[in-house]
Amino acid sequence: MSDDQTPDSTDDTGDQLSGHSGELAVAVARAHGVETMFTLSGAHVFPMYDGAVKADPPMRLLDVRHEQTAAFAAEATGKLTRVPGLAVLTAGPGVTNGVSAIAQAQFAGSPMVVVGGRAPANRWGSGSLQELDQPPIVASISKAARTLHSAGDVIEGMHGAFAAAGSSHRGPVFVDVPMDEFFNSASGAAPTVTRGRGAEPDGDAISEIAELLASASRPVLILGTDVWADGAEEAALRFVETAGVPTITNGMGRGLVPGGHPLLVTKARGQALGGSDLVVVVGTPLDFRLGYGIFGGKDGATPAQVVHIADSPGQVSGHADLASSASGDLTSVFDGLLTALEQVVRRPDWSSWVTELQDTVKAAVERDATLLGAEADPIHPARIYGELVPRLAEDSVVIGDGGDFVSFAGKFVEPKRPGGWLDPGPYGCLGAGLGAAIAARIARPSAQVVLLLGDGAAGFSLMDVDTLVRHNLPVVMVMGNNSAWGLEKGPMQMLYGYDVVADLAQRTPYHDIVKALGGAGEQVTDPRQIGAALDRAFAANVPYLVNVITDVEAVYPRNTFGI
């Protein structure tokens, strides 16, 4: 943890914890707000299960069919609840199966703790089953990775893991416990958990940014995942509306400015970023999704000045050419900027810039309407969103796991609230879908949960429909089934004029797999039938897959391949 944050603290409050390592670990996790343990059975971690069963009340155990699903579920729990998710993975292959999800959490700044089993210490080096030294494997993709060598280390080790995972910049923390020490007992003071806020931002930096804003004539604000993760959603919207600055959202920032809001100009993104003279980016890295932080500058024009604001100093871009930057608690940043703007003498007037962008948004909405209503046969993927979007409730959680099919969702789904959009993020890992859906159903018990699946992506995790069924977790799955790895097929065609290893079996009845696992579903080939199928899915109250056969030729019109 950096020394510029309010740390969580361990105080001796008089409460004592005692028991075996699993009991201690569960008690500490619960103190940090954990309600569910995502796992797949392995003897190395039995004490965690015993700890969960014997806790009062017991901690919910959610057992899955592949450790990636447990780890992706923990990651999504961290994203949705902003309390670190907990995955418990057995030694060796259990841990290595979780590696992609841990890396994704690191890339997305998702708070999660992974507890690994580990071969016993008293035989280390003798060749026990699954005797793998795991922290070196996980170290490069986590905030911290360490072995808790004895039962006596568990309280402090777990407390430190949760504190680090949950404080900005958030991310995954890994600990493993040797099997013999997992069964051993210890006692110690219960930790006191205080939710720390990030550091106060530097006042001079805030004033400088306010000055830049005040002298800009065509500013654009970009809000990303960390605005949500940092709990700054109210301050962000207050800032947008009071300052009147046109805004684009990405990642879990989507919904911070609700879909349809007059200052949300994501649909005029090209014009906004191409024509801006000042782009202020908050809570998201200046990575490939944002042109590496270069905006405009085409045909000899002057590129926009760029301001980068992050939740912690380490997140401020080191590669982009910045006019200014700030870091710290993002609520303080937004409120500080408003105060500083009020003190600026010359009031900026951006009304004609805003109107210009609003006209472009309006034109884009009209253009989109044609695609959203497409009657084409085979079905154009956009038509699925034409039917789905009007059926989404305000509090819906929409999860994307796929290529082009999910890119279309990014274009057409504009959430009404923050914290309800889960996309693959900058790590772009296929296979997160079922884990995220499990997590969402648990985190938001009364909300619609919609999982958008490419047919390719589905192959990574569809077996975990079994988990949805066993745990009675109804989720609506909507598949864009183009019988291909579409997002790879199109680019390979473009580069080489041919493609290989991009085709999948034609029109596979994936809904029959869901049925075989105890859920329900149907195939749709007629665009006019999509709406009714979605209605049946939402009413079913069981895991339900709407398998829509789509046109493989309807590729997403992208202008970056992320490299």
Ligand X SMILES: Cc1ncc(C[n+]2csc(CCOP(=O)(O)OP(=O)(O)O)c2C)c(N)n1
Q: 155: which 2 tokens?
A: 């309280």
For the CB of residue 478, give the shortest distance to ligand X in the complex, in Å.
12
Q: Which of the choices ligand X, Mg ion, none does residue 248 contact, using the CB cut-off of 5 to 8 A by kind?
A: none
Residue whose CB is less far from ligand X, 211 or 488? 488
Q: Which of 456, 474, 519, 521 binds ligand X (CB under 6 A)?
A: 456
Q: What does the block give as tokens for 124?
A: 């280390």
**Residue 112 DSSP class:** E
Q: Which of 431, 456, 521, 527 binds Mg ion (CB under 5 A)?
A: 456
Q: Which is nearer to Mg ion, 387 or 455 (CB)?
A: 455
Pairing of β 185-189 and β 16-20: antiparallel
Q: Which of 22, 51, 246, 454 forms a contact with ligand X (CB under 6 A)?
A: 454
| Cβ nearer to Mg ion, comparing 456 with 519 | 456
Q: Give me the count of residues in the chain.
A: 563
Considering the complex, state which of residue 153 and residue 455 has its C-beta at the smaller distance from ligand X: 455
- 425 counts as binding ligand X under rule CB under 6 A: no
Among 105, 173, 278, 429, binds ligand X (CB under 6 A): 429
Three-class secondary structure of residue 478 per DSSP: strand
Which helix (H) or strand (E) covers residue 515, if one does?
helix 510-516
The number of CA neighbours under 13 Å toward the Cβ of 344 is 22
Q: At what angle do helices 203-215 and 330-343 cross, to 10 degrees?
A: 60
Neighbours of 378 (CB within 10 A): 19
> Please, what is the minimum distance in Å from the beta carbon of residue 488 to ligand X?
5
CB of 453 to ligand X, least distance (A): 7
174 binds, among Mg ion, ligand X, none (CB under 5 to 8 A by kind): none
Of the candidate residues 48, 484, 514, 537, the single one contacting ligand X (CB under 6 A): 484
> Judged by CB under 6 A, does residue 99 bind ligand X?
no
The answer to whether 482 contacts Mg ion (rule: CB under 5 A) is: yes
- Say how many residues touch Mg ion, by CB under 5 A: 6
Question: Under a CB-based contact definition with an 8 Å cutoff, are residues 382 and 284 in contact?
Answer: no
CA 110/CA 329 separation, integer angstroms: 16
Binding segment (CB under 6 A) for ligand X, from list 89-97, 232-240, 304-312, 477-485:
477-485
CB of 125 to Mg ion, least distance (A): 47
**CB closer to ligand X out of 96 and 215:** 96
d(C-alpha 434, C-alpha 88), whole Å: 17
271/482 with CB nearer ligand X:
482
Q: Which two tokens stand for residue 540?
A: 């079913």
Q: Does 486 bind Mg ion (CB under 5 A)?
A: yes
Name the helix (H) or strand (E) containing 456. Answer: helix 455-461
C-alpha to C-alpha distance for 193 and 184, rounded to whole angstroms = 25
Instruction: In angstroms, give the least distance from the CB of 519 to ligand X.
Output: 19
Instruction: For residues 549 and 24, give the distance between their C-alpha atoms in angstroms, rounded to a whole number.
Output: 50
> Are 337 and 307 spatial neighbours (Cβ–Cβ below 8 Å)?
no
Chosen from Mg ion, ligand X, none, partner binding at 429 (C-beta under 5 to 8 Å by type):
ligand X
Residue 116's binding partner among ligand X, Mg ion, none (Cβ under 5 to 8 angstroms by kind) is none
- Is 111 a residue that touches Mg ion (CB under 5 A)? no
Residues 239-298 that bind ligand X (CB under 6 A): none
CB of 457 to Mg ion, least distance (A): 8
Tell the smallest beta-carbon distance from residue 315 to ligand X (Å): 23
SS3 489: helix
Q: How far is the CB of 221 from ligand X (least distance, A)?
A: 29
Question: Which residue's CB is nearer to ligand X, number 494 or number 532?
Answer: 494
CB-neighbour burial class of residue 411 (10 A; exposed 0-12, middle 13-18, buried 19+): middle
Which one of the spans 160-168, 384-392, 422-430, 520-528 is the region binding ligand X (CB under 6 A)?
422-430
Distance CA 423, CA 402 (A): 9
By the rule CB under 6 A, 431 interacts with ligand X: yes
- What's the rounded Cα separation, in Å, for the pair 310 and 536? 43
What does the buried/exposed string (b/e) look like for 19-49 if buried means 16 or more CB atoms within 10 Å of the residue's CB?
bbbbbbbbbbbbbbebbbbbbbebebbbbbb
Q: Smallest distance from the beta carbon of 550 to Mg ion, in angstroms?
A: 8
Displacement of CA 340 from its chain's centroid (Å): 32
Window contacting Mg ion (CB under 5 A); options: 106-114, 172-180, 342-350, 474-482: 474-482
**Closer of 202 and 488 to ligand X (Cβ):** 488
> What is the CA angle 478-548-400, rounded to 5?
30
What string marks each residue from 371 to 410 as x (binds ligand X by CB under 6 A) or -? -------------------------------xxxx-----
E-strand ranges in 269-407 read: 278-282, 305-310, 324-327, 397-401
- Reference 110, options 75, 161, 80; nearest CA is 75
* Binding of residue 480 to ligand X (CB under 6 A): yes
Residue closest to ligand X, measured at CB: 454
Find out whether 555 and 454 touch, Cβ atoms under 8 Å.
Answer: no
Looking at the Cβ atoms of 72 and 485, the one nearer to Mg ion is 485
Instruction: By CB under 5 A, tell whether 68 contacts Mg ion.
Output: no
- Residue that has been written with the tokens 């109210």 in this structure: 234
Whether the Cβ atoms of residue 421 and residue 452 lie closer than 8 Å to each other = no
What's the closest the beta carbon of residue 378 comes to Mg ion, in angstroms?
13
Among 317, 482, 508, 547, binds ligand X (CB under 6 A): 482
- Binding site residues, Mg ion, CB under 5 A: 454-456, 482, 484, 486
- Binding site residues, ligand X, CB under 6 A: 402-405, 428-431, 454-457, 480, 482, 484-488
